[in-house]
A and B are shown apart, each in its own frame.
Chain A
Amino acid sequence: MTSQATPMIRLDELTKTYRGQPHPAVDRVSMDMPRGEIIVLVGPSGCGKTTTMELINRLIEPTSGRIYLDGDDVTRADPDSLRRRIGYVIQQIGLFPHFTVAENIATVPKLLGWDKKKIGDRVDELLDMVGMDPSEFRGRYPKQLSGGQRQRIGVARAMAADPPVMLMDEPFGAIDPITRDRLQNEFLRLQQQVQKTIVFVTHDIDEAIKLGDRIAILGERSQIAQYDTPANILASPASPYVADFIGAGASLKRLHLSQVSSVELDTGCVTARIDGDAEQARERLRASERAALLLLDADGRPQRWVDAGDLSSTDLFKAGEPVGAVVESTSTLSEALNAMLTSNSGVAVVIDRSGAFQGLLDFETVMVAARSERDFYRAAKVPS
C-alpha cells in the first residue's frame, strides 16, 4: 500500500463508554480521513462529535476500538508524544495568559527540544503566515490582542511543530460573524498552502459546507448519518435526518460551495481614475453602451459609481454614489449574494486580494450558477 492510499487517520470501531451510563457516548465509529483534507464533524450538541475528536489525540481514552495515524496503531502509544504530533485548537483558544505570543507559539517546539534559533525563526514564520507582524506581536501578551488575533495565534501555536494532523474544536465559535467570515477565508487560504489533514468540529452546517472537503453528519452516539463531500450531501441527503439537519434552502447553501472566481465576471465595465480628467471619462462612457462608470483610485481600488450627469460635476471625489457591494474573488457566491442584498444593488464589485478592481458580478450570473450546479449534481446522480 502506498502512503498516498493510507488514510491519514483511521478510526476502527471506536467506542467510548462512560462508567454508570447505559449507552456509549461514541458507539463503534469507523472512519477513514484522507490526508490533506478538511474533514468536518457536524451534528447537534451532545451527539458526541467533540468526544470523537478527542479520542483521536487521546484526551479521552477509548473503551474499545483502534486509532491509526498515518498507518501506525496509536491506540496504546504514549499520549504526550502522540499529542505533540497533532495540532490542537479549541473554541476558547486557551492561550497561556502569562506567556508572550512568541512563548505561546513556541510551546510544542520547546517540548520537542528544538534549539532557540530554530524556534525563533519558526515563530516569526508562523506570525507572518497568519498575517501578524512578528516585530509588533512577538512580545505581546494574550490580553493585549483582539479576539480575532488570539484565534490566529491559537492556530499558529497548533501548527508550530508542523504536525501533519490538526484537530479543531469549533475554533470560530466564539467570534463575531464578520470576523468569523474573514477568519474562515484566511483559514482556507492557509490550508491551500499547508495541506494538513484537519478534523474540524462544528454544530453549524453552513460552516461545515463552507470549510469541509468532506462532511460527516453525526447523529446520537456519534453514529455517522452521512459521510461525503458537501456537494453530494446537499444534492442527495442520505436520510430524512440529514435532510432535516441541512435544513431548508439547500440551493442557497450550495452557493457556499463556489467561489466568485469560479464564475465569469463582467469585465466590460468602463473605469476611470478618480483623480483623472472628467471630460475624457465622459467621452469614454458615451462611447460605450454602459449607463455608469466606475471610478478607481491610483491603486486600482474601486471608489464611486458615476453616470454621465455626475461627470459634469467638478469634484469627482464627491460625484455619484460610493460603491456598495464589494467582494473579494475568493469569497463564496453566497457572500457575494449577501453583499448585493444588503447594499441593495444588483451588482457586486469584485476585487482581488490587494483590493484592485477585477470585474463585476451581477445577480443573474449568481442565479445561473446556482441553477447549473443543481442540474450538474442531478445529472451526476442519474443511474446510467
Chain B
Amino acid sequence: MDFYEYLVDNAEPLSQEALDHIVVVGISVGIALVLGCALGVLAHRSPRLRPPILAVSATLLTIPSLALFAMFIPLLGLGTPPAVVALVLYALLPIVRNTVVGLGSVDQSVLRAARGMGMGSWRRFLRIELPLAWPVVLTGVRVSTQVVVGIAAIAALVNGPGLGNEIFRGLRSLGSPFALNLVLGGTLGIVVVALLFDAFFIALRRLTTARGIR
C-alpha cells in the first residue's frame, strides 16, 4: 500500500487526531497567553522580579520534553491534563519575553503625555500600553504556538491526544509495512497543523493591530 492510498483510507482517524492536536495546542497556548501576559506585565513593572521571571521561563524550555511530560503523571495521571500543563510551560517563555519587550518598546513620551492629560494608570494600560505592545506580544504567541505544535506530538507518550499517537504507533510497529506510513502521516499532519496556525496568526495580527501602527 503506498502512502497516498494510506492517507485516503485513513482520512477520518487522521483528521480526528489533527483536530485533537489543534484543540490541545489551542487550549495550552490560550492559558499560556493569559499567564504569560500577566508575568510579562509583572516583569515589566518590577525590575526586581524581571530576572527571576525570565530565568524560570527560560529554564522551563530547556527541560527535555519526555521528562516534563512524565513528571506530571504522579500528580495528574495520564491523558490530556498532564499534556496541557507541560505545553503551557513550554509556551510561556516566548510570550513572557515578548510581552516584556513589547511593553518596553512603547514610546515613553506617549505614556508621559497620557499621564499628563489625566489618564489613570488602568486606562493607560488598557488603552495605550497594551494596544501598542500587542503586535510584539502576538509575535510571541505565534512563536510559542510553533514550538508547542511540535512538542505536542510527544504528549502521546502520556496518552495525550493528537497526531503524536500516529507517530508512536508507527515507531512501535517498526519493521512492519505500515510503520513508515504511520510516521509519515503523523508528521505530515503536524506540518499541516503548524501551517494552519500560522495562517490564523497572520489573519489575527491584521485584525487586532490598530491601523495607525500597522
Is B212 a contact of A93 with CB atoms below 8 Å?
Answer: no
B210 sits at the interface (CB 8 A): yes
What 1/0 flags go to B135-178 for Cβ under 8 Å of A? 00000000000000000000000000000000000000000000
A91 and B109 alpha carbons, distance in the complex (Å): 9
B48 sits at the interface (CB 8 A): no
Q: Which residues on A sit within 8 Å (CB–CB) of B107? A: 92, 94, 97
Q: A97-B110, A98-B213, A142-B212 are in contact. Are A111 and B115 (CB under 8 A)?
A: no
B113 sits at the interface (CB 8 A): yes
Is A96 a contact of B110 with CB atoms below 8 Å?
Answer: yes
Is B132 a contact of A97 with CB atoms below 8 Å?
Answer: yes
Q: Which residue of B lies closest to A142 (CB)?
A: B212
Is B113 a contact of A90 with CB atoms below 8 Å?
Answer: yes
Is A99 a contact of B212 with CB atoms below 8 Å?
Answer: yes
Q: Which residues on B sit within 8 Å (CB–CB) of A79? A: 118
Is A92 a contact of B109 with CB atoms below 8 Å?
Answer: yes
A64 and B211 alpha carbons, distance in the complex (Å): 45
Q: Which residues on A sit within 8 Å (CB–CB) of B119? A: 80, 107, 111
A96 in complex: contacting residue of B115, B120, B128, CB < 8 Å? B128
Is B117 a contact of A83 with CB atoms below 8 Å?
Answer: yes
A59 in complex: contacting residue of B115, B211, B213, CB < 8 Å? B115
What 1/0 flags go to B41-81 for Cβ under 8 Å of A? 00000000000000000000000000000000000000000
Q: Which residues on B sit within 8 Å (CB–CB) of A92? A: 107, 109
Q: Which residues on B sit within 8 Å (CB–CB) of A97? A: 107, 110, 132, 210, 212-213
- How many A residues touch B, CB cutoff 8 Å? 29
A49 and B110 alpha carbons, distance in the complex (Å): 21
Is A94 a contact of B114 with CB atoms below 8 Å?
Answer: yes
Is A90 a contact of B109 with CB atoms below 8 Å?
Answer: yes
Is A111 a contact of B116 with CB atoms below 8 Å?
Answer: no
Is A84 a contact of B212 with CB atoms below 8 Å?
Answer: no
Is B131 a contact of A98 with CB atoms below 8 Å?
Answer: yes
Which DSSP category, helix, strand, loop or mixed, fits chain B's interface?
helix
Which DSSP category, helix, strand, loop or mixed, fits chain A's interface?
mixed
Q: Which residues on A sit within 8 Å (CB–CB) of B115? A: 59, 83
A42 sits at the interface (CB 8 A): no
Q: Which residues on A sit within 8 Å (CB–CB) of B111? A: 94
Interface residues of A in 213-239 (CB under 8 A from B): none
Q: Which residues on B sit within 8 Å (CB–CB) of A143? A: 212-213
Interface hub of A92, A94, A95, A142 (most chain B Cβ within 10 A) = A94
Interface residues of B in 84-128 (CB under 8 A from A): 107, 109-120, 123, 128
Q: Which residues on A sit within 8 Å (CB–CB) of B212? A: 96-100, 141-143
Is A88 a contact of B110 with CB atoms below 8 Å?
Answer: no
Interface residues of A in 45-83 (CB under 8 A from B): 57, 59, 79-83
Is B117 a contact of A88 with CB atoms below 8 Å?
Answer: yes
Q: Which residues on A sit within 8 Å (CB–CB) of B213? A: 97-98, 143
Is A94 a contact of B118 with CB atoms below 8 Å?
Answer: no
Q: Which residues on B sit within 8 Å (CB–CB) of A141? A: 211-212
Q: Which residue of A lies closest to B134 (CB)?
A: A98
A92 and B113 alpha carbons, distance in the complex (Å): 9
Is A96 a contact of B116 with CB atoms below 8 Å?
Answer: no
A108 sits at the interface (CB 8 A): yes
A81 and B128 alpha carbons, distance in the complex (Å): 19
Q: Which residues on B sit within 8 Å (CB–CB) of A84? A: 117-118
A107 and B117 alpha carbons, distance in the complex (Å): 8
Q: Which residues on B sit within 8 Å (CB–CB) of A108? A: 117-118
Q: How far, in Å, is A289 (CB) from chain B's closest CB?
A: 59
B112 in complex: contacting residue of A59, A82, A98, CB < 8 Å? A59
Is A57 a contact of B116 with CB atoms below 8 Å?
Answer: yes
A100 and B210 alpha carbons, distance in the complex (Å): 10
Q: How far, in Å, is A126 (CB) from chain B's closest CB?
A: 14
Q: A98-B131, A98-B213 are in contact. Are A90 and B118 (CB under 8 A)?
A: no
Between A and B, 10 residue pairs with Cβ closer than 8 Å are: A57-B116, A81-B118, A90-B109, A92-B107, A93-B109, A94-B113, A96-B128, A107-B119, A143-B212, A157-B117
Contact surface of B with A, Cβ cutoff 8 Å: 107, 109-120, 123, 128, 131-132, 210-213
Given contacts A81-B118, A90-B112, A94-B112, 18 further A-B contacts (CB under 8 A): A80-B119, A88-B117, A90-B109, A91-B109, A93-B113, A94-B111, A94-B114, A96-B113, A96-B114, A97-B210, A97-B213, A98-B132, A98-B212, A107-B117, A111-B117, A141-B211, A158-B117, A167-B116
User: Which 8 pairs between the two chains have the least Cβ-Cβ distance?
Assistant: A94-B113, A98-B210, A92-B109, A83-B118, A141-B212, A88-B116, A84-B118, A94-B109
